[in-house]
């Protein structure tokens, strides 16, 4: 693992950081819109804050997504001198990455419309969410055969992950109130999470079987160390989610004290950022001769 990281050149390091930023911001933007729709008991203030968060995250997502293109051009060129090289930019733009970024940016622009507190704006933003999730199906191994199945599975996988990431802020915000609306909001998220975790796991497992054939064999690969690190953080995240649902949510309902739940959500947020960062490293430093 250390050897892989030590071998990274500056362009690859910049690409990983931008990719991690794109993951966090795009999933946060999409997830905020999903939760805005789902959590019907958010009060006016919480709803306005969530709409703002979705729009700001979308703007950050547009910046990070767009930066992918010149960075890919720089990789093709062999250094930052190729950042704006026309020939390299043309190759990057005409690649699956170029198409994916185009769809993602369109979706993120649509999400910024959520700032307008109108019903039609909400629908445009939801359409943007679908575009953002679908953009992940236009790149990498989502474009492998069987393409229709993999594209669908990746889209579902990203939607479920977005739901989770986008839930942190409204839950954190409402838990601080400690009132009945807060309890209903947290409970509603917990009910939806059971379905979403199922979708996340189900889609993920099928993708893995399609691409790898033998999931156990994956662990014998050199990059298994990254995978192990990621698994450890995912385990921590799911443990926190279970703790929230089984202990802290009932405690909030009983005592009205949201502080323990808010503390747990802060740790969940940190765990998710680590997971997305490790994913960005992992998907960029896979097999020798393959930088993705």
Partner 1 sequence: MKLRTIFSSAILSAGLVMGAGAALAHGKGMMTMPGNGQTVGTDTKVMHLMFKEPMQITTVTMKSPDGKTYKISGPAANKAVKTWEGKLPKLAPGNYKIDWRGMSPDGHPMNGDFAFKVAN
Least distance from partner 1 to the Cβ atom of residue 198, Å: 7
Residues 6+ apart with CB under 8 A from 132: 26, 29, 30, 61, 103, 104, 107, 108, 111, 158, 162
- Choose among 81, 266, 269: nearest CA to 176: 266
- Choose among 139, 140, 142, 116: nearest CA to 128: 116
Angle at alpha carbon of residue 138, lines to 204 and 91, rounded to 5°: 140
DSSP 288: T
Least distance from partner 1 to the Cβ atom of residue 189, Å: 15
> Is the Cβ of residue 20 or residue 114 nearer to partner 1 in the bound state?
20
Least distance from partner 1 to the Cβ atom of residue 156, Å: 12
- Is residue 122 within 8 A of residue 37, CB to CB? The reply is yes
DSSP 244: I
> Is the Cβ of residue 51 or residue 230 nearer to partner 1 in the bound state?
230
- Is residue 76 within 8 A of residue 91, CB to CB? The reply is yes
Least distance from partner 1 to the Cβ atom of residue 36, Å: 24
> Is the Cβ of residue 130 or residue 231 nearer to partner 1 in the bound state?
231
Residues 6+ apart with CB under 8 A from 196: 160, 163, 164
> Is the Cβ of residue 96 or residue 256 nearer to partner 1 in the bound state?
96
Which residues are near partner 1 by CB under 8 A? 72, 75-78, 82, 87-88, 90-91, 94-97, 139-141, 143-144, 157, 194, 197-198, 200-201, 203-205, 207-208, 211-212, 215, 218, 221, 223, 226-227, 230-231, 234-235, 238-239, 241-242, 245-246, 275, 278-279, 282-283, 286-292
Least distance from partner 1 to the Cβ atom of residue 18, Å: 14
**How far is it, in rounded angstroms, from Cα 272 to Cα 111?**
22
Least distance from partner 1 to the Cβ atom of residue 178, Å: 25
> Is the Cβ of residue 96 or residue 250 nearer to partner 1 in the bound state?
96
> Is the Cβ of residue 34 or residue 126 nearer to partner 1 in the bound state?
34
């Amino acid at each position: 693992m250390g050897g892989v990281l030590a071998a990274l050149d500056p362009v690859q390091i910049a690409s990983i950081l931008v990719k991690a930023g794109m993951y966090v911001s795009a999933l946060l933007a999409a997830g905020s819109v999903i939760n805005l729709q789902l959590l019907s008991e958010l009060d006016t203030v919480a709803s306005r804050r969530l709409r703002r968060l979705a729009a700001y995250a979308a703007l950050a997502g547009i910046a990070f997504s767009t930066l992918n293109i010149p960075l890919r051009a720089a990789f093709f060129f062999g250094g930052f001198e190729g950042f704006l090289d026309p020939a390299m930019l043309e190759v990057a733009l005409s690649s699956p990455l170029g198409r994916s970024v185009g769809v993602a940016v369109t979706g993120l622009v649509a999400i910024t419309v959520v700032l307008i507190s109108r019903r039609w704006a909400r629908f445009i933003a939801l359409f943007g969410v679908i575009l953002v999730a679908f953009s992940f199906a236009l790149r990498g191994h989502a474009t492998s055969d069987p393409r229709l199945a993999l594209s669908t599975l990746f889209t579902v996988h990203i939607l479920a992950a977005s739901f989770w990431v986008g839930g942190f802020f409204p839950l954190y915000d409402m838990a601080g109130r400690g009132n009945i609306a807060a309890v209903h909001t947290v409970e509603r998220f917990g009910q939806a999470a059971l379905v979403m975790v199922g979708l996340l796991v189900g889609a993920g497992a099928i993708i893995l079987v399609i691409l790898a054939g033998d999931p156990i064999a994956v662990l014998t690969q050199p990059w298994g160390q990254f995978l192990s690190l990621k698994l450890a953080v995912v385990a921590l995240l799911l443990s926190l989610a279970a703790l929230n649902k089984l202990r802290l949510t009932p405690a909030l309902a009983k005592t009205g004290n949201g502080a323990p739940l808010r503390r747990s959500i802060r740790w969940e947020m940190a765990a998710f950022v680590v997971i997305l960062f490790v994913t960005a490293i992992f998907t960029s430093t896979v097999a020798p001769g393959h930088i993705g």
